[in-house]
Amino acid sequence: PVSVQQATVCAEYGDGAVTRGEVEVDAGQSSGRFVHHIWLEPPVAIHPAGIPERERLGEFITRHGVNMAWLTAGLFHQIVDAGAPGYGAMRQIMSGGDVLSPAHVRRAAELIPAVRLMNGYGPTETTVFACTRALHGDEPGPLPVGGPIPGASVYVLDPWLGPVPVGVPGELLFDGNGV
């Protein structure tokens, strides 16, 4: 069994990005993302079962007044490729689960200029996200996974569990909220 604390889920969305009265949509297939709906108190629009078609998802978002979404990287890329129809009123999109394309993030920033784009990273053991980073569309090259969510720590370690210098590859160790 997995125990999830409300503070952990709220921390994943960062500095007060979620407030009462917002409507969130989760078009993913993972039950791990469902924890957001349990703990976040705003109304939640749950897409019907099945794989969402990007055009239908935009219609669903508009119809239900959704202004916040968690999208897998693949679905985010497809939505941006389609011109992000129905996403004009979106306040925040968090994406992760795979590497985000800098070109798609740039295009999303052009298509939906008022949206707060977030890159989320974390293994399953960290309740979906352990690191987040706001993206602005002007980031060159590979997009960073960001820093730890509030109440969490992330360490980059060598094979002997010693810290590595900044910029040196290593293994990630997570501690704190969500682990």
pLDDT tens by residue, 25-64: 444 444 444 444 444 555 677 777 777 777 788 888 888 8
Confidence (pTM): 0.75
Query: Helices (DSSP H) in 51-101: which residue ranges?
Result: 54-64, 73-81
Q: What is the mean pLDDT of each run of 10 residues along the chain (179 residues)?
A: 44 46 45 44 69 80 85 91 91 89 96 93 79 91 86 92 92 84
- The structure tokens listed for 48 are 């019907």
Residue with tokens 């989760």: 26
CB atoms within 10 A of CB 33: 19
What is the per-residue pLDDT across 22-35, written as a single tens digit (0 to 9) for each?
Answer: 444 444 444 444 44
Coil, strand or helix at 151: coil
Q: Are 96 and 66 in contact (CB under 8 A)?
A: no
The full length of the chain comes to 179
Distance CA 28, CA 79 (A): 14
